[in-house]
Structure formats: structure tokens, C-alpha cells
Amino acid sequence: MRSHRFECTSGLVAPPEAVWEHASSPAGVNWELRPLARMVFPRRVTRLEPPDVGGDARPARCWLLLFGVLPVDWDDLGFDAIEPGRWFHERSTMLSQRAWEHERVLVAEERGTRLIDRVHFTPRVPGSGILYRPIFEQIFRHRHRRLRRRFGSRALSFRVESERLVVRPWHHDDLAVLRRLAADARVMRYVGDGSPWTVAQIAEFLARQATALAADGFCLGAVVDRASGEPIGLSGLQRLGSTGEIEIGWWLSPERWGAGLAAEAGRALVRFAFESLRLPRLVAISHPDNAASIHVMERLGMEPLGLTTGRELGLRHPDVEVIVYGLERESR
């Protein structure tokens, strides 16, 4: 039975406590859904927190009314786990869905909250996911628009710090360093098809990272040496081709190799991905002969998942052979 996934992320100006207070009440959920739909919660559910839901509470049957009036579905609402103020993981069944999972994560950030909704559903009628997916996605986009209007909207930001490094989005002044790295045969030997990047490829890379930052709040950004304030490489998170997985990656200026910097950036990014974003898993890819990069993956506790090609992963270079490593949040 085919399942479907999507996610929505928004940057809000309000602190997580204020967003949680609203989002964990039946009235708050219905405020987000208005005017598209309304959920009729059983009277015993006054908060979407234990003891009303989650823990030992039995699933709560909620009718779903289209435009607030027309009964179209029901939801046997259950929660796997809830950490009040930070996240919940709803695991329900519906009249139309064999399985419905909705994880909401609130990340405290310097200027407010990053709110992430991850939805994973399996329809009862085979093939009907093609119809449901755009409807559910539109409903969640609508909820995020309402949340941004209520709590104030801000651009998503990305900043991960470690003892010696900061990973952050690209600034205009970093261009010279990126051009130098992308033209260096030692750096590019195992990247893509092994050739240096043209000016157009660099521009396309930067445009892609800006789009990813706006949608997901992470990207492959610049690695900055905290002591000098100078960019010395590239690292961060990005979506891996067409796989739906999130990949961690790194390139450093050769003068800085061998000082444990890639592993240090990697450890900070793994913490950010698992503890802040609550991603279920991370992957990394490498040319099978790239011993340095494979060592960094092993240093982070990643395990080999097998050899594949760029084609299988939906990468820009279909014929390159790559080894995939993975790390599960729950295995740490």
C-alpha cells in the first residue's frame, strides 16, 4: 500500500510557548482549519495533551466537517508521544486513511519559533493518494498561512555553531572563496563527476541553496572559521536528489584538512538535525574511493547502506557511482 509524505515549515515571530498554547487546544486547531474544515472533538478532550490524549488515553473519534458543516471523514485521534511545548507525534486512523501521522515540531530560535509539520499517510483505497495528497497539502499550507498571520512571519534562518566553526547561509562576500574551492582539483576530485564548476554552475548552486533555505530553513551553507571570521568551506543539510532523504555534506579548503574540522561541523549538524528539527534520519553520499569523506561519516557513527548510482538517487550526474551512509535518530 503506497504511503505519501510532505512537510511544511514556517518561521514565526512569537515564542514556542505562545504557539504551543494555541496549537494544543481544539479551538486552536479549528482556528487554523477555518473556513476549510472543522473537527468536532469529543467533550472529554479539552487539551491536545495528556491526560486528554496521548499516554493511556483511548483514541478520540473526531468528525471532520467540510467548510464547518458537511461530515466527510472521521479521525480516531491518537498520539504516540507528546513533549509539551516542543513537539507531538499524532498517529491516527481515519475513515479514508489506513494510517495518518502528523508530527508538529516547535524549535526555539533567536527571533521566534520554527514550526515544522510532517505528514505521512496511507489511504485505504489503493491509488487514491493522488487525489488526497494535493488536498492535504493545501490544507496544511492554509494552516501555515493562518499561523503566520496570527503569530507574525519571519524568514527561516540557519545557523549551526561548534567550538571552532559556524555553518550559515551564503553571503555575497563569500563568492570568491566558493569560486576558489570549486576550481580546486583536490577539492573537486570526488564531487559530482569530478570536474571543477563553471561560473554558471556556481550561480545555479547558490540559487538552489537560497530556495532551499526559504522552504526548509536549512541548506548547504558556508563554513566559517570563528577565530578569523573567514569562510573556509561548505557544509550543511540538503534534500538528496529525488529520494526524500536529507543529506549532510562537507568540503573544506585543503590547507585546513586533517584538523578534525569536517567531523566537528558534522557533529554539530547531526545534533541540529536530530535534536532541533527532529529529523528521523540523515544520509550522506560519497564516491567509494573518497576515504576522507567516508572517514568523516564513520566518525559520526553513520553506517553503510550500500552502493548505488546518481541515476537511482535522482542526482545531476546519473552515471556516477556513490556509496550511501545513514544514521537514524533513534539509534544514537
Ligand X SMILES: CC(C)(COP(=O)(O)OP(=O)(O)OC[C@H]1O[C@@H](n2cnc3c(N)ncnc32)[C@H](O)[C@@H]1OP(=O)(O)O)[C@@H](O)C(=O)NCCC(=O)NCCS
Q: Binding residues for ligand X, per CB under 6 A?
A: 187, 190-191, 250-252, 257-263, 286, 290-293, 295-296, 299
In this structure, how many other beta carbons lie within 10 angstroms of the beta carbon of residue 263? 17
Our CB check for ligand X shows the closer of 55 and 194 to be: 194
Q: Is 231 exposed, middle or buried (0-12, 13-18, 19+ CB in 10 A)?
A: buried
Our CB check for ligand X shows the closer of 160 and 262 to be: 262
Our CB check for ligand X shows the closer of 119 and 224 to be: 224
Our CB check for ligand X shows the closer of 44 and 186 to be: 186
* CA distances for 311 relative to 213, 243, 282, angstroms: 25, 11, 20
Q: Where are the beta strands (DSSP E) in the chain?
A: 4-12, 37-40, 60-66, 70-77, 79-83, 87-94, 97-109, 112-123, 160-161, 165-168, 220-225, 231-239, 246-252, 281-286, 303-309, 321-328
Asked if residues 59 and 79 have their Cβ atoms less than 8 Å apart, the reply is: no
Closest separation between CB of residue 182 and ligand X, Å? 10
Q: Produce one character per residue of 24-43: b if its CB has 16 or more CB atoms within 10 Å, e if not.
A: bbbebbbebbeeebbbbbee
Our CB check for ligand X shows the closer of 116 and 240 to be: 240
Closest separation between CB of residue 211 and ligand X, Å? 21
What sign does the CA torsion over 262, 265, 268, 272 have? negative
Closest separation between CB of residue 237 and ligand X, Å? 14
Q: What are phi and psi of 159, to 5 degrees?
A: -155, 120
Cβ-proximal residue to ligand X, closest one: 295
Using alpha carbons only, what angle is made at residue 196 by residues 193 and 197, rounded to the nearest 5 degrees? 95
Our CB check for ligand X shows the closer of 106 and 252 to be: 252
Q: How far apart are CA 317 and CA 332, in angstroms?
A: 32
Closest separation between CB of residue 158 and ligand X, Å? 19
Closest separation between CB of residue 235 and ligand X, Å? 8
Residue among 137, 154, 147, 149 at smallest CA distance from 21: 147
Our CB check for ligand X shows the closer of 124 and 271 to be: 271
Closest separation between CB of residue 17 and ligand X, Å? 38
Residue appearing with cell numbers 508530527: 103
Our CB check for ligand X shows the closer of 77 and 187 to be: 187
Closest separation between CB of residue 214 and ligand X, Å? 25
Closest separation between CB of residue 198 and ligand X, Å? 18
